[in-house]
Amino acid sequence: MKQTIIKILFLLLAVIFSGNELISSGKETSVTVTEKFRLGNENLHSIYFSEIQNKKSAIVTNNSGINSEGEHIVDMLKNIRGSFPIKIFSPEHGFRGDDNDTDHLDEVTGIPVITLYGNKKKPTKSELEDVEVIIYDIQDVGARFYTYINTMYYCMEAAIENNKKLVICDRPIIPNPNYIDGFMLDNDVKSFVGLLDIPISYGLTIGELANYINQTEFNGKCDLFISKMSGYSRNMDYNNLGIVWKNPSPSMLYPSTAVTYSGTCLLEGSNFAEGRGTDKPFEYVGAPYCDGDLLKSEMDKFGFEGVKFESIEFTPTSITSPSNPPKFVGKKCEGVYIKITDKSKAEPVKIGIALLVTLNKNFPQFKIRNDKFLDKLSGTKKLRTMIENGTDYNTIISSYETPLKKYKDTIASFYLY
């Protein structure tokens, strides 16, 4: 028994000394620790809480402003000692995602909700008089024409004009974070679906974009704080982060919708349906005059990677979003299902442009809208003009490569992850 105890002691001493030797010699001392993923709003009420502590806040948010477990930021901050949310600003589609674009009292919290959509898109001086800090928390989809980033722009402008701090709760990019594509914005087509001189797919988190806007649009005048995510990198797939999904807008039904959206939303500038009123908006596209098999065959010729085109039939139904009613309600449509098979290889903006080229070439009933809405979506008159003139796909793509490269070279310095 005594000999056994002595052997055990010798073994323990050997382990201790060998461990010290490894440490002192520098061998095998690195230990990889994976930091737990946390959203910006989760870090706001922990490591960054001093930014809002004991201050009256206005929260710019909607249905998507939740933490990883589904708790809304308004509920989260309302129940924390030292946090005082006194009003809510809502973007397009309303605070609860129900298309309520009117000022009202929130039934759940009793906090007044002020809309930032319609005739008034920016908080007024009187609305910010009793506010000490503005907090922004909305899940975006990385596309220039998704209007929430323009709401953020106007909130930044209001923060500067009224000497208020703006806190951005950062969130991950749903599509491939490294995918940057599309026309830059021309000044003569600026609108609420295209306000910033960035490409259609701009490749920044909302916090990174806020920093970019602050420097390029406001010369750093905004008192801006980014409540960063932790445990996040650009190589991470949104689907693997374990975040509860809440539609950021009525037709943004799934994370996969956000991937195809940056390309198929261009169809809103035409008489071809982008899939609203179906189970897969922006993934199902079609029209009553379309031959789905022909469209699939033509799209396959482009050789796009990371995507599969499937010939489909669908009948759009009415939806509760009056701001964007579906095309061809109750009419059978043929078209394609744009099924993303590898998000890291897919190029949705190019797919959208290829669709426009193909439809214009093969279907005489296809028309681009007369109101030039495609100009606002694409950010330029050039795309519409080239499509109508029968310009080939490769020429269209090469026409925006030089300004796009300049943008790519610029934004790397704004990366936070």
> With 70 as the cut, is the pLDDT of residue 27 above it?
no
Query: In the structure, what pLDDT confidence band is assigned to residue 98 with cuts at 50, 70 and 90?
Result: confident
The reported pLDDT for the residue numbered 97 is: 80
The reported pLDDT for the residue numbered 119 is: 93
> With 90 as the cut, is the pLDDT of residue 13 above it?
no
The reported pLDDT for the residue numbered 323 is: 67
> With 70 as the cut, is the pLDDT of residue 19 above it?
no
Query: In the structure, what pLDDT confidence band is assigned to residue 2 with cuts at 50, 70 and 90?
Result: very low
What are the DSSP calls for 283-340, one per residue? TEEEETT--HHHHHHHHHTT--SSEEEEEEEE-----S-TTSPPSSTTS-EEEEEEEE
∠ Cα 175 178 181 (to 5°): 80
> Of 23 and 217, which is predicted with more confidence?
217
Measured CA to CA, the distance from residue 19 to residue 9 in angstroms comes to: 15
> With 70 as the cut, is the pLDDT of residue 257 above it?
yes
> With 50 as the cut, is the pLDDT of residue 68 above it?
yes
Q: Which of 338, 186, 374, 174 is nearest to 265 (CA)?
A: 374
- Domain at 40-246, CATH from 1.10.10.10, 3.40.50.300, 3.40.50.12170, 3.40.800.20: 3.40.50.12170
Query: In the structure, what pLDDT confidence band is assigned to residue 8 with cuts at 50, 70 and 90?
Result: very low
Q: Fold for domain 255-392?
A: Aspartate Aminotransferase, domain 1 (3.90.1150)
Measured CA to CA, the distance from residue 268 to residue 280 in angstroms comes to: 15
For 107-124, what is the mean pLDDT? 95
**Residue 226 contacts residue 152 (beta carbons within 8 Å):** no
Query: In the structure, what pLDDT confidence band is assigned to residue 16 with cuts at 50, 70 and 90?
Result: very low
> With 90 as the cut, is the pLDDT of residue 26 above it?
no
The reported pLDDT for the residue numbered 322 is: 65
The reported pLDDT for the residue numbered 133 is: 99
Domain assignments of the chain as residue spans, ordered by start:
40-246, 255-392
Query: In the structure, what pLDDT confidence band is assigned to residue 413 with cuts at 50, 70 and 90?
Result: very high
pLDDT in tens, 143-189: 999 999 999 999 999 999 999 999 999 999 999 999 999 999 999 99
Model confidence, pTM: 0.90
The H or E element containing residue 90 is strand 83-90
The reported pLDDT for the residue numbered 231 is: 98
The reported pLDDT for the residue numbered 258 is: 98
Query: In the structure, what pLDDT confidence band is assigned to residue 34 with cuts at 50, 70 and 90?
Result: low
Share of the chain above pLDDT 70, in %: 91
Query: In the structure, what pLDDT confidence band is assigned to residue 69 with cuts at 50, 70 and 90?
Result: very high
Query: In the structure, what pLDDT confidence band is assigned to residue 321 with cuts at 50, 70 and 90?
Result: low
> Of 311 and 24, which is predicted with more confidence?
311
Query: In the structure, what pLDDT confidence band is assigned to residue 100 with cuts at 50, 70 and 90?
Result: confident
Same fold, 40-246 and 255-392: no
pLDDT in tens, 236-255: 999 999 999 999 999 999 99
Question: Which residues face 309 on adjacent strands?
Answer: 338
Q: Token pair of 65, please?
A: 């402003």
> With 70 as the cut, is the pLDDT of residue 24 above it?
no
Name the average pLDDT for the chain: 92
Q: Token pair of 53, please?
A: 């502590």
The reported pLDDT for the residue numbered 320 is: 59
> With 80 as the cut, is the pLDDT of residue 15 above it?
no
> Which residues are CB-neighbours of 171 under 8 A, at least 6 positions away?
39, 40, 137, 138, 139, 140, 205, 206, 207, 229
Q: Which residue has the tokens 């943008």?
A: 407
Query: In the structure, what pLDDT confidence band is assigned to residue 205 with cuts at 50, 70 and 90?
Result: very high
The reported pLDDT for the residue numbered 140 is: 98
For 393-400, what is the mean pLDDT? 99
The reported pLDDT for the residue numbered 233 is: 97
